[in-house]
């Protein structure tokens, strides 16, 4: 798995799953472009990652804003002249029952999760096509496959990411660009910390492997999907959920 010298863009990289993915890529020699809304945290994460001996470029942006994403891409090309890997990981939740869900909460979640993934993919795809190489991994969710009470916006955004993944994979396959989605189950991060103990213990009962996932579990799968060990895999949704959905 020689990824040394490649350039990877990771969105939502300041903390949680995105941060762990950036670390895993950096440990294999990938120069990391860390994109996040949280300037302070993304700069701190970039400093930590630079200690691993790779180049880092922290960028504050909102993935939902195409012009900010285009500016980011231009900075990456100026600095590195290549983009090999894109990890669309930035995501938010704004939960509520459909009956009471505010239009603004629907729009926000679709804009960040789904449009953000579209924006970043659209921005990098030309550079990948020109180089005849690329690996894109979109972070979806088990909720995009099975739905969830109170998460109509989130599940629709993640199901949308799955459709986007498959269309992008078909459009770019002949250019040696592989595009896959990962659908994690319950992973221990700040996003899931807010759930009550009752909800957590009910969830745990549904997980055959008997534990929640760790960001490292997802990062290991990302490494496989960006490596040449997975060169015959594209347009897939790879589940990682301790057996919660089979
Ligand atoms: N934690 C889980 O159980 C779980 C399960 C399935 C899928 N996921 C998905 O994994 C991804 C990462 O989740 P996490 O648990 O690490 O979440 P997290 O909230 O800990 O981290 C998300 C990061 O994205 C950044 N972000 C949010 N909105 C942004 C925007 N508009 N532009 C740029 N950056 C933005 C945040 O600042 C934060 O650093 C998300 O897409 C999430 O939906 C998480």
Q: Residue of the nearest CA to atom 40 in ligand 1?
A: 91
Is 154 tagged catalytic? yes
Tokens at residue 113, please? Answer: 């999760």
Q: Where do we find the tokens 């090999």?
A: 84
In a domain, 246, yes or no: no
Residue 214 CB neighbours (<10 A): 14
From 37, 43, 91, give the residue whose CB has the most ligand 1 atoms within 8 Å, as the site to mutate. 91
Residue 107 CB neighbours (<10 A): 14
**For residue 38, what pLDDT is reported?**
98
What's the 157 CA to ligand 1 centre distance in angstroms? 13
The domain spanning residue 86 has which CATH number? Answer: 3.40.50.720
From 10, 15, 90, give the residue whose CB has the most ligand 1 atoms within 8 Å, as the site to mutate. 90
Burial class (CB in 10 A: 0-12, 13-18, 19+), 193: exposed
In a domain, 1, yes or no: no
Per-residue pLDDT in tens (0 to 9) along the chain, 246 residues:
689 999 999 999 999 999 999 999 999 999 999 999 999 999 999 999 999 999 999 999 999 999 999 999 999 999 999 999 999 999 999 999 999 999 999 999 999 999 999 999 999 999 999 999 999 999 999 999 999 999 999 999 999 999 999 999 999 999 999 999 999 999 999 888 888 999 999 999 999 999 999 999 999 999 999 999 999 999 999 999 999 999
**For residue 2, what pLDDT is reported?**
84
In a domain, 48, yes or no: yes
In a domain, 60, yes or no: yes
In a domain, 28, yes or no: yes
CA 132 vs CA 14, 128, 165: distances in Å: 29, 6, 18
Q: Which of 80, 118, 154, 186 is catalytic?
A: 154
Helices 152-172 and 116-131, axial angle in degrees (round to 10): 10
**For residue 1, what pLDDT is reported?**
66
Number of domains in the chain: 1
**For residue 131, what pLDDT is reported?**
97
Burial class (CB in 10 A: 0-12, 13-18, 19+), 181: buried
Atom of ligand 1 nearest to the CA of 190: 20
Domain range for 75: 7-240
- Contact predicate 195/150, CB 8 Å: no
In a domain, 138, yes or no: yes
């Amino acid at each position: 798995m020689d990824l040394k010298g490649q350039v990877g863009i990771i969105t939502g990289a300041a903390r949680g799953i995105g941060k762990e993915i950036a670390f895993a890529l950096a440990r294999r020699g990938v120069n990391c472009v860390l994109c996040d809304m949280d300037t302070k945290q993304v700069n701190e994460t970039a400093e930590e990652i630079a200690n691993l001996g790779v180049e880092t470029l922290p960028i504050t942006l909102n993935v939902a804003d195409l012009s900010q994403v285009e500016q980011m891409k231009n900075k990456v090309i100026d600095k590195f002249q290549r983009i090999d890997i894109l990890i669309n990981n930035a995501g938010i939740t704004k939960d509520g029952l459909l009956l009471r869900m505010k239009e603004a909460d629907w729009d926000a979640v679709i804009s960040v999760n789904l449009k953000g993934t579209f924006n970043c993919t659209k921005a990098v795809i030309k550079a990948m096509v020109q180089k005849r190489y690329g690996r894109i991994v979109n972070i979806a969710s088990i909720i995009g496959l099975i739905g969830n009470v109170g998460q109509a916006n989130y599940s629709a955004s993640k199901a949308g990411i799955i459709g986007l993944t498959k269309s992008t994979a078909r459009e770019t396959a002949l250019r040696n660009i592989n595009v896959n989605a990962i659908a994690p189950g319950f992973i221990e991060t700040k996003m899931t910390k807010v759930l009550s103990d009752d909800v957590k213990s009910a969830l745990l009962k549904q997980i055959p492997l008997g534990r929640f996932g760790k960001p490292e579990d997802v990062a290991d799968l990302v490494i496989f999907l960006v490596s040449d060990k997975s060169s015959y895999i594209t347009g897939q949704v790879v589940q990682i959920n301790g057996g919660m959905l089979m």
